[in-house]
Amino acid sequence: LAKTTQPISMDSYEGQEVNITCSHNNIATNDYITWYQQFPSQGPRFIIQGYKTKVTNEVASLFIPADRKSSTLSLPRVSLSDTAVYYCLVGDGGGATNKLIFGTGTLLAVQP
């Protein structure tokens, strides 16, 4: 099973860009990289998913280097409401399943 390593916590201020890096040294060839956001007592919410290079949507960008052993979630101009836990996940490398392996996540605290 692929595993991920993220910083336990990060601090930022409103209006700043935040970059959260995730290591996944054992990522399999057919694995995608997915990021979720979770607020207290709520289910995780999908943010972005990618396979290689760069992916951008309306809320975030995902940068994946050529070796795919790491990835960086970029949140532009964060606000207080972005305070949450962010999880980096990779596929379990085993066929058509929807089994997500969550790590400990990164607690992002945005201050005014």
Partner 1 sequence: KAGVTQTPRYLIKTRGQQVTLSCSPISGHRSVSWYQQTPGQGLQFLFEYFSETQRNKGNFPGRFSGRQFSNSRSEMNVSTLELGDSALYLCASSLAGYSAEQYFGPGTRLTVT
Q: Which residues sit at the interface with partner 1, rule CB under 8 A?
A: 30-32, 34, 41-46, 49, 87, 91, 95-105
Residue corresponding to tokens 């949507």: 57
Shorter beta-carbon distance to partner 1: residue 15 or 94: 94
Shorter beta-carbon distance to partner 1: residue 71 or 105: 105
Measured CA to CA, the distance from residue 2 to residue 5 in angstroms comes to 10
Query: Residue 109 Cβ, how far from partner 1 at the closest point, in Å?
Result: 18
Query: Residue 14 Cβ, how far from partner 1 at the closest point, in Å?
Result: 27
| Sign (positive or negative) of CA dihedral 23, 28, 32, 38 | negative
Strand 106-111 relative to strand 9-13, pairing: parallel
Query: Residue 38 Cβ, how far from partner 1 at the closest point, in Å?
Result: 8
